[in-house]
Structure 1
């Protein structure tokens, strides 16, 4: 699985477009797996620093427990309604919890806002990226998807 920097090096256009969609809005939707295997959806802020995609979770939050038990996640950008819609990005992969105090401090100091109190810090390792946008002309959707080992596929849906 790739770090954000690895994705930027392998697929710079896709990484740039997806990263921009994650930077446009502050809040996104994180999917994790509950103990019984059913999905849990949670609001989540993300940050980019040192070539990594990070997210912090308040201490003891259920989504943190989900990720500690099973690191698989999906993350979907916030969306807006047309005509202002600029696209959606989805990421899937493994979230790795960072427990080294120095690494946590370094990563959190680069973020705009550090959650008060205890925090679980996760670094994302990517297995899949999907970008959905309007085509030119705006009468169809363009889907670009990347999977590890496969590269980018582009499809149009009319």
Structure 2
């Protein structure tokens, strides 16, 4: 499901992911290496037109991982230890953008917003979103967990901090 479809199916989670992304402008991506071990890499993510776009340098390790196995996880950057700013993640499959028009419009959008324009060759994928999650801790230690899976509704729960552990 593309970004537009995801934001209609799970509007609260889409808003929280975008909020976290807008705070830092960066995300982390988990991919699977050729030998099956995990790889984590930083990347810039762009929500453009109806897609969450993932741009990468030509022949980068993470791009080669995705060409071989498109399953991935995109996780917003966490910059505090107490979890009060929240963290959001999307899991899905990377789809290679072959539409030249979308590639050109995306490159122009990148230039318009950053002053830098990617030059061919480079990799550009959109994320086919399958599920999402968001976690945030309150000042008293309570944990809010929001989740969504394709075909289901958003769910939310609060786990209470007892002073020694979290309880549902």
Fold shared per TM-score above 0.5 = yes
Q: TM-score when scaled to structure 2?
A: 0.85
Q: Please tell me the root mean square deviation across aligned C-alpha atoms, in Å.
A: 1.8
What are structure 2's unaligned runs of at least 5 residues? Answer: 162-168
Cα separation, partners in 2 of 1:35 and 1:15, compared to 1, 3 Å: same
Task: Output the CA distance in 1 between the equivalents of 2:10 and 2:49.
Answer: 18
Aligned residue pairs total 156
The Cα shift of 1:13 comes to: 1.8
Q: Is the 8 A contact 1:79 1:85 kept in 2?
A: no
Task: Output the CA distance in 1 between the equivalents of 2:117 and 2:85.
Answer: 28
Query: 1:105 maps to what in 2?
Result: 104
Superposed CA deviations along residues 72-103 of structure 1, whole A, max 9, x for unmatched, are 00011111215684110011001101123222
Greater C-alpha radius of gyration: 2
1:132 and 2:132 are equivalent in the alignment: no
Q: TM-score when scaled to structure 1?
A: 0.90
Q: Tell me which stretches of 4 or more aligned residues in structure 1 moved more than 6 Å.
A: none
What are structure 1's unaligned runs of at least 5 residues? Answer: none
Q: In the TM superposition, what are the counterparts of 1:16-55 in structure 2 within 5 Å?
A: 16-55=15-54
